[in-house]
Structure 1
Amino acid sequence: MADEQKLGKAKALVETLEQELLTRCKPIDQHKEYYRGEQPLKFASDEFRKYHGARYKDFADNWVQVVADSPVERLTVTGIKPYGADQADAESMRVWQANGLDADSQLGFLGSVISARSFALVWGDPDDDETPLVTFEDASSCIVAYEPGSRRKRRAALRRWQDGDKYMAVLYLPDEVWKFERPVQRRSKTDDMAEVDKLLDDWTPRDTGTEPNPQLNPMGVVPVVEMLNRPLLADDPISDVAGVIPMQDAVNLLWAQLFTASDYAAFPQRVVLGAERPMIPILNKQGEVIGEKPLDLEKLAADRIAFITGDSAQIAEWTAANLEAYTKVIEVAVGHIAAQTRTPQHYLIGKMANLSADALLAAETGLVKRVEEKQLWYGQGIRELFALVALAQGDDDKAKALRSGYMLWADAESRSQVQLADALLKLKQIGFPFEFLALRYGLTPAEVVDLLAMIEREHQLDPLGAAAALMSQRPEAEPPAPDNEAEEEAA
């Protein structure tokens, strides 16, 4: 009886979480379509859509992709330093690399930027006790339920996907994990058959063979972490794509109107006034005129022949349409996208003047701050990911230290090698240690360890040169302070 109650509660929880997940999927799917450039023509009049809509159905001047990609290309995890540790944790990065997260993390960050959230799942590998499995999951396949009043304590998580003609679901709880399946829902013709299909298509525990279902969760916490993009205190997080879509639709319409205008009015148009359309006679087999028909004007235009009849015939001309009026409005719209999303203008417009290095840095300040904000929010999820890895390895103390640790990211600012070297030299002159400077240069903690080992080997091969280099790095001794009393006596 107790087992049936647990099963009923688990099924009800799966159904509730699934409904919330399906509610989220509609805007997520729209944002993905816009990122791929699948953008329907909007804001057009009924007449324009009727005559020209099919012509531009596959066209999109896709700025959504640029806006979404620009921060992701600067989000690179280089390590994590546990609380109280002097160096980055090498084991955490080993698991990170073993799961291919140096590449897959970019997919997770991009998913958060587009869909407002993404997820990371950590679970033990039965084939390797020392290396847990870590995967990033899409926002359309995962959902997390939190404790009331908390945005971090997870009560349950659901992962749902389609496998052939079945839906699969895994319900993660702090103490156990349930696996369910059900057929893909069918479309019934009557209400009675719909009720029958609903009963037949209900979630049922999956047959896992010798593996128990449910199985115990040895980690003691829900092993799914949510990474939010631009979260709010009392509302859902915000996608970076959502605010670009209206202006993207406007840009696509302006291009469609420009192309249409260029097709009809890009060249001067000439019109003949005061003359009838030229006619040619129709002859029978005997050569007799039996009628007449209009001359093919398209053939005259192709042959560059003018055929004008009538004493009062005149030629008038319409000037070509000014297409720059469209391009100027498009540039304004793209400028609005740049300002609203803090994407540098030269990323969107593609025009580069002779700007100095300092001017380029200033132009990218908004993007750098945007990336640093994402490092802050995504970093919370990545820290919890590393803590779950430690729990999967059975190290509770390390998990606590990692939750309070410090994330290491590649520099979000893009600078030239000359600027970077000059800045590091100035930091060295005021006393910053070499290891800190190597990290600021962009080396990973593992590369810094290798570099220090190389330097140590060089010093062992040339001890005199090492001593001379050490003496040259020491600050010069300051001259002794003047003896004021001796100076007074001398005076």
Structure 2
Amino acid sequence: MERTEEQWLTHLIRCHDKELPELRKLNSYYEGTQPLSYMAPELQQELQETVRQVVINWPRLVVDSIEERLDVEGFRFPDEPSADEELWRIWQANDMDEQSQQGHLDGLVMGRAYVVIGTRADDAKTPLITVESPLDMYAEFDPQTRKVRAAVKRWSEESPDGKVDHASLKLENATSWWLKEKGVWVEDPEHARDDHELGEVMVEVLANRPRLKCPNGVSELADVIPLSDAACKIATDMMVSAEYHATPRRVAFGFGEEDFVDANGRKVSAFSRIIGRMWATEKNRKEDGADVIQFNEASLSNFHETLKQLATLVASISGMPPYFLGHATDNPASADGIRSAETRLVKRSERRQRGNGGTWERVNRKVLRIRDGEWNPEARALETIWRDASTPTIAQVADAAVKKHQAGIVPLRQTREDLGYTQAQIHRMEEQDEQTAQDAMQRIMSGDLAALEAGPKPPAELILPEAAAPEPVPVS
């Protein structure tokens, strides 16, 4: 049965509300504000004013190690050797250098982020692109086409009468705006409906590791959170031990609880059930008297070894090199060893590039549809240009790129892309190459060979072959 717009709105909001607790939990682990796990409530109550939780934020390290390798450099049509300048102009006009980074980050942390495409009232040739957090937005997929069939974005605003809840409902042929009045959603009279009749929802999903039965993606932290909880618990226990055991421990014989009072005669917590500063026992004072002895301080090395083992497990699961987690060795790794250790991390990053690249290509198809008023069939073969996810040295990259170009395997533009130059930099280089070639040709035509020798040289492939000298005519 076909849902009405109001039914779609309430359905999507209800689904979003179910996911919000888990999304907020994942976000707290990235921010390092998660609650302490694996500790008895009685112990937390005893220590709450003495020792704070020690947060070892491995979740942020795992996410940032991948996100730092996801940089979009441009978009290219199949028959064009360089990036499309118009698509890059629209990308830059929407601050997508920054927004795309934030979308990749939220996708890795919470499993997904959303990209919304719309129009601008002041510039019809520059469609509007925004990236939205899954804490504010939810989308539902069509089970047959696996495309987004409905989405909702929610936000709140303060007004003189209190907080007002707003929502934007995005369907295949229309976008409408709503607000809540007296607990009921009604259409917002200040925003006109947009009946675009495009046949597609102007929303795309940046999903992390989507699966056939889970198109919304999975958080990159799913496997790391239990180990992070354990590390935070061990580190906190280490601080507790430093407070109570790393200094010499005392035992008092022949003292009663009434003997432990402060300057005002009030009892102090000398008989802690779990951890105490002093152990004491009451005996017959007439026969045994009182005595105080001192134990040696405890070593914290057992905590260090446990943390190292947990770090090794995190490195194994996340694909990060052990030295990312502070696991150093006596012998420093060679350059080849470092590259070998990063192989899994690089491959994981390239997988994220492939998945996110498909999303950005679909976004640009819808951008072109809004700009041109019709679907561009060539945009189905768009390619996202990514920066190299690996970290080779500059000398190694330059040596390999130049050798491939000299052997005629790749053209000059591809060589410059392999060297890591941006599309804007390559465009300026090509303009300079063209100007240099024109100047050289003009000097040749004018016969100014001396100036040609002293001036800048054009690229090798632009130099014309020397004309063969005419053979002498034999004189009879």
TM over 0.5: yes
Q: Which deviates further from its counterpart, 424-433 or 464-473?
A: 464-473
| Residue in structure 1 matched with residue 429 of structure 2 by the alignment | 451
Alignment of 1:24-103 (within 5 A): 24-53=19-48, 55-57=50-52, 59-103=54-98
| Aligned counterpart in structure 1 of residue 317 of structure 2, from 340, 345, 368 | 340
- Measured after TM superposition, the shift of residue 436 of structure 1 is 0.3
Q: What's the secondary structure of 2:404's corresponding residue? A: helix
The answer (yes or no) to whether the contact 2:54–2:235 under 8 Å persists in 1 is no
| Residue in structure 2 matched with residue 163 of structure 1 by the alignment | 157
Q: What's the secondary structure of 1:215's corresponding residue? A: coil
The answer (yes or no) to whether the contact 2:140–2:150 under 8 Å persists in 1 is yes
- The one-letter code of the counterpart of 2:55 is A
| Aligned counterpart in structure 2 of residue 229 of structure 1, from 205, 208, 217 | 208
Q: In 2, Cα distance between the equivalents of 1:112 and 1:12?
A: 28
| Residue in structure 2 matched with residue 205 of structure 1 by the alignment | 187
Q: Alpha carbons of 1:132 and 1:55: their partners in 2 closer, same or farther (altered >3 Å)?
A: farther
The answer (yes or no) to whether the contact 1:84–1:401 under 8 Å persists in 2 is no
| Residue in structure 1 matched with residue 341 of structure 2 by the alignment | 363
- Measured after TM superposition, the shift of residue 401 of structure 1 is 2.2
| Residue in structure 1 matched with residue 109 of structure 2 by the alignment | 114
Q: In 2, Cα distance between the equivalents of 1:48 and 1:275?
A: 25
Cα distance per residue 1:25-73 (max 9 Å; x no partner) = 1111011111111021111134422322454455412111111111111
| Residue in structure 2 matched with residue 174 of structure 1 by the alignment | 172
Cα distance per residue 1:296-325 (max 9 Å; x no partner) = xxxxxxxxxxxxxx9999985522212011
Q: Which runs of 5+ in 1 are unaligned?
A: 184-199, 280-309, 475-491
Q: Which deviates further from its counterpart, 158-167 or 310-319?
A: 310-319
Q: In 2, Cα distance between the equivalents of 1:108 and 1:462?
A: 47
Percent of aligned pairs with the same residue? 26
Q: What's the secondary structure of 2:425's corresponding residue? A: helix
Q: In 2, Cα distance between the equivalents of 1:262 and 1:32?
A: 31
| Residue in structure 2 matched with residue 372 of structure 1 by the alignment | 350
- The one-letter code of the counterpart of 1:334 is A
Cα distance per residue 1:171-217 (max 9 Å; x no partner) = 1122222211104xxxxxxxxxxxxxxxx311101112xx64x3311
Q: Alpha carbons of 1:254 and 1:127: their partners in 2 closer, same or farther (altered >3 Å)?
A: same
- The one-letter code of the counterpart of 2:149 is R
- The one-letter code of the counterpart of 2:203 is V
Q: In 2, Cα distance between the equivalents of 1:274 and 1:158?
A: 71
| Residue in structure 2 matched with residue 252 of structure 1 by the alignment | 232
Q: What's the secondary structure of 1:131's corresponding residue? A: coil
Cα distance per residue 1:351-379 (max 9 Å; x no partner) = 47522211111111111111111111111
The answer (yes or no) to whether the contact 2:72–2:385 under 8 Å persists in 1 is yes
The answer (yes or no) to whether the contact 2:437–2:462 under 8 Å persists in 1 is no
The answer (yes or no) to whether the contact 2:206–2:356 under 8 Å persists in 1 is yes
Q: What's the secondary structure of 1:396's corresponding residue? A: coil
For these two proteins, the number of residue pairs brought into alignment is: 417
- The one-letter code of the counterpart of 1:182 is K
Q: What's the secondary structure of 1:125's corresponding residue? A: coil
The answer (yes or no) to whether the contact 1:40–1:57 under 8 Å persists in 2 is no
| Residue in structure 1 matched with residue 142 of structure 2 by the alignment | 147
The answer (yes or no) to whether the contact 1:180–1:203 under 8 Å persists in 2 is yes
- Measured after TM superposition, the shift of residue 462 of structure 1 is 4.7
Q: In 2, Cα distance between the equivalents of 1:216 and 1:240?
A: 37
| Aligned counterpart in structure 2 of residue 426 of structure 1, from 399, 403, 420 | 403
| RMSD over equivalenced CA pairs, Å | 3.0
The answer (yes or no) to whether the contact 1:118–1:139 under 8 Å persists in 2 is yes
Q: Alpha carbons of 1:55 and 1:370: their partners in 2 closer, same or farther (altered >3 Å)?
A: farther
| Residue in structure 1 matched with residue 194 of structure 2 by the alignment | 215
- Measured after TM superposition, the shift of residue 409 of structure 1 is 0.3
The answer (yes or no) to whether the contact 1:81–1:402 under 8 Å persists in 2 is no
Q: In 1, Cα distance between the equivalents of 2:437 and 2:18?
A: 63
| Residue in structure 2 matched with residue 401 of structure 1 by the alignment | 378
Q: Alpha carbons of 1:54 and 1:242: their partners in 2 closer, same or farther (altered >3 Å)?
A: farther
The answer (yes or no) to whether the contact 1:120–1:224 under 8 Å persists in 2 is yes
Q: Alpha carbons of 1:56 and 1:317: their partners in 2 closer, same or farther (altered >3 Å)?
A: closer
Q: Which runs of 5+ in 2 are unaligned?
A: 260-286, 442-451, 465-476
Q: Alpha carbons of 1:271 and 1:448: their partners in 2 closer, same or farther (altered >3 Å)?
A: same
Q: In 1, Cα distance between the equivalents of 2:414 and 2:40?
A: 60
The answer (yes or no) to whether the contact 1:113–1:240 under 8 Å persists in 2 is yes
- Measured after TM superposition, the shift of residue 264 of structure 1 is 1.6
- Measured after TM superposition, the shift of residue 147 of structure 1 is 2.1
- Measured after TM superposition, the shift of residue 263 of structure 1 is 1.4
Q: In 1, Cα distance between the equivalents of 2:420 and 2:363?
A: 23
| Residue in structure 2 matched with residue 480 of structure 1 by the alignment | none
Q: What's the secondary structure of 1:389's corresponding residue? A: helix
Q: Alpha carbons of 1:34 and 1:433: their partners in 2 closer, same or farther (altered >3 Å)?
A: same
TM-score, normalised to structure 1, is 0.78
Q: In 2, Cα distance between the equivalents of 1:338 and 1:176?
A: 47
| Residue in structure 2 matched with residue 415 of structure 1 by the alignment | 392
Cα distance per residue 1:281-300 (max 9 Å; x no partner) = xxxxxxxxxxxxxxxxxxxx
| Aligned counterpart in structure 1 of residue 223 of structure 2, from 236, 243, 247 | 243
The answer (yes or no) to whether the contact 1:173–1:217 under 8 Å persists in 2 is no
Q: In 1, Cα distance between the equivalents of 2:7 and 2:461?
A: 72
Work out whether 1:326 is the aligned partner of 2:303: yes
Cα distance per residue 1:417-456 (max 9 Å; x no partner) = 1121122122223212111010111122222111111123
- Measured after TM superposition, the shift of residue 111 of structure 1 is 0.6
| Residue in structure 1 matched with residue 368 of structure 2 by the alignment | 390
The answer (yes or no) to whether the contact 1:99–1:134 under 8 Å persists in 2 is yes
Q: In 1, Cα distance between the equivalents of 2:149 and 2:353?
A: 25
Q: In 2, Cα distance between the equivalents of 1:315 and 1:146?
A: 72
Q: What's the secondary structure of 1:128's corresponding residue? A: coil
